[in-house]
């Protein structure tokens, strides 16, 4: 298994240097094609209950054109020395951006997106809801912190819990796990769960071994919120990447995320998440 096509999603009207450099590095590492996709919602899509002056409508249209052009220039500049296929797609749409981008993800093996610098949602006409994107895309999503480009991704922590989402994430992350120099499967559980945790990790290790990946095992008792504890373990291990299942459910039309998923989406840790 390999990632043959990466899809990166720069944000219109923002500097995307870290995201695009990270995408370029990963594309070279994996010898993968890259598709850049940007989307935005025009002002009338979010102000349907108000009359919009013609001047505002026209200025918004011009701004969208400028931002699409500038972002495409950023994208092509970052990928200028990439030997593989490079494509660009940009859309203005009426629907929520996450829904549009999730449909585009059918073209890709891995989606690469940037985490907000402060963990807060940005302009919803330009920036998709990452929660909705992760839960709708049907593809693994690589979350890149905004502070600095991806490192070598040599040390990988697998956040293990015997759930469908975690099993999916390990399988989806296989191309990166195969290139890592150190893989550690970590489970958090008290003494009552220890036997199940050990047997679950053993199954993961056996499966990875069949793909020539020798993974270490680590089981730790809980001493604070699992999400915070996991991030702390990742930092202690100096992990370049956390692989985790993205869990959640819909309540009153909104996704309610599991603690670890929420922490990863709002934090500054490089992570591959899969639902």
Tens digit of each residue's pLDDT (9 = 90 or more) over 78-90: 999 999 999 999 9
> Rounded to whole angstroms, how far apart are CA atoms 127 and 122?
6
Considering the domain delimited by 5-144, tell me its CATH architecture.
Answer: 3-Layer(aba) Sandwich (3.40)
Would you state the pLDDT for residue 116? 80
CB 79 within 8 A of CB 86: yes
pLDDT > 90 in the chain, percent: 67
Top mean-pLDDT range of 100-109, 147-156, 190-199: 100-109
> Rounded to whole angstroms, how far apart are CA atoms 275 and 263?
15
- Give the largest CA-CA distance in the chain: 67
**77: which 2 tokens?**
């500049």
What residues does 188 pair with on adjacent strands? 220
CB 266 within 8 A of CB 249: no
Q: By mean pLDDT, which of 45-59, 213-227, 259-273 is the weakest? A: 45-59
pTM score, two decimals?
Answer: 0.93
Handedness of CA 225, 230, 128, 2 (dihedral sign): negative
Handedness of CA 126, 129, 134, 137 (dihedral sign): negative
CA-wise closest residue to 220 among 153, 157, 155: 157
For residue 148, pLDDT beyond 90: no
Q: Do domains 5-144 and 155-274 have the same CATH topology?
A: yes
> Rounded to whole angstroms, how far apart are CA atoms 84 and 107?
16
Would you state the pLDDT for residue 44? 67
Tens digit of each residue's pLDDT (9 = 90 or more) over 174-216: 999 999 999 999 998 776 777 788 888 999 999 999 999 999 9
Mean pLDDT of 249-261: 71
Element (H, E) at 156: strand 155-159
Distance between alpha carbon 52 and the CA centroid of its chain, in Å? 35
pLDDT band at 270; cut points 50, 70, 90: very high
Average pLDDT for the chain: 90
pLDDT band at 159; cut points 50, 70, 90: very high
Considering the domain delimited by 155-274, tell me its CATH architecture.
Answer: 3-Layer(aba) Sandwich (3.40)
Tens digit of each residue's pLDDT (9 = 90 or more) over 25-72: 999 999 999 999 999 998 766 666 666 676 777 888 899 999 999 999
> Rounded to whole angstroms, how far apart are CA atoms 161 and 210?
20
- What are the sequence ranges of the domains in the chain? 5-144, 155-274
């Amino acid at each position: 298994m390999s990632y043959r096509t990466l899809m990166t999603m720069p944000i219109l009207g923002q500097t995307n240097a870290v995201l695009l450099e990270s995408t370029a590095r990963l594309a070279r590492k994996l010898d993968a094609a890259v598709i850049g996709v940007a989307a935005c919602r025009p002002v009338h899509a979010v102000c349907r209950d108000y009359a919009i002056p013609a001047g505002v409508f026209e200025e918004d249209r011009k701004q969208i054109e400028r931002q699409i052009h500038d972002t495409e220039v950023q994208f092509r500049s970052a990928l200028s020395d990439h030997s593989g296929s490079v494509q660009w797609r940009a859309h203005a749409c009426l629907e929520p951006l996450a829904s549009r981008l999730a449909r585009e993800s059918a073209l890709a093996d891995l989606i690469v997106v940037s985490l907000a610098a402060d963990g807060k949602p940005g302009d919803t006409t330009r920036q998709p809801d990452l929660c909705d994107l992760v839960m709708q895309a049907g593809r693994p999503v690589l979350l890149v912190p905004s502070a600095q480009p991806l490192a070598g991704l040599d040390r990988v922590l697998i956040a293990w819990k015997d759930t469908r989402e975690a099993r999916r994430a390990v399988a989806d992350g296989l191309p990166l796990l195969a290139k890592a120099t150190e893989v550690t499967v970590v489970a958090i559980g008290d003494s009552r769960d220890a036997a199940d945790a050990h047997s679950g990790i053993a199954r993961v290790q056996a499966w990875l071994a069949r793909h020539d990946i020798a993974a270490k095992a680590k089981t730790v008792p809980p001493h604070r919120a699992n999400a915070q504890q996991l991030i702390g373990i990742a930092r202690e291990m100096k992990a370049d990447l956390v692989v985790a299942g993205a869990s959640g459910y819909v309540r009153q039309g909104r996704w309610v995320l599991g603690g670890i998923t929420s922490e990863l989406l709002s934090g500054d840790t490089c992570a591959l998440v899969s639902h």
